[in-house]
Amino acid sequence: MTSAYLIVIFTQQIEANQSFYEALGITFETGQHGDGPIHLSGKLGDMVFELYPTTDADKVTQTRLGLMADNNTTLTESDKQQLNSIADTVHPFDNGQTYLVMTDPDGRSVEFLY
């Protein structure tokens, strides 16, 4: 069986993306591997989620990410309002969950289910 352990996002707007993904609940720390670039690293469930700076526009892709609040996450009404305010579309489900589609600062489509 194969499972994912790492997502790396290359960006020319690292601070804007840090703020965007922190609003979705990812906490970042600064990291560096050997002589590699200083980057941001956080946890997304059991996966490592990293933001790498780049000056190469070709490395910034139109990847679509799907994220979900875990069962241990309690979103306040204020949290939900903030998420809904940055969403391109908001889709409430009959079961009480909400599915958002939003765009990060580099134009990537990000789905978020809470």
Please, what are the averages of pLDDT over each run of 10 residues along the chain (114 residues)? 83 96 94 91 92 88 83 84 88 86 91 87
Residue 23 φ/ψ, nearest 5 degrees = -65, -20
Residue 9: which H helix or E strand, with range?
Answer: strand 6-11
Q: Whose CA is closest to 52, among 100, 9, 102?
A: 9
**Residue-level pLDDT at 2:** 61
At residue 49, the pLDDT reads 95
- Give the sheet arrangement for strand 87-92, strand by strand: 65-68, 109-113, 98-103, 87-92
Contact 53, 59 (CB under 8 A): no
Write the DSSP symbol of residue 36.
S
Q: What is the pLDDT of residue 54?
A: 92
What pLDDT shows up at residue 56? 86
* Whole-prediction pTM: 0.77
Q: Which two tokens stand for residue 31?
A: 């990291």
pLDDT of 32 reads: 92
b/e map 23-61, b = 16+ CB within 10 Å: ebbbebeebeeeeeeebbbbebeeeebbbbbeeeeeebe
> What distance in Å separates the CA atoms of residue 82 and residue 35, rounded to the nearest whole number?
38
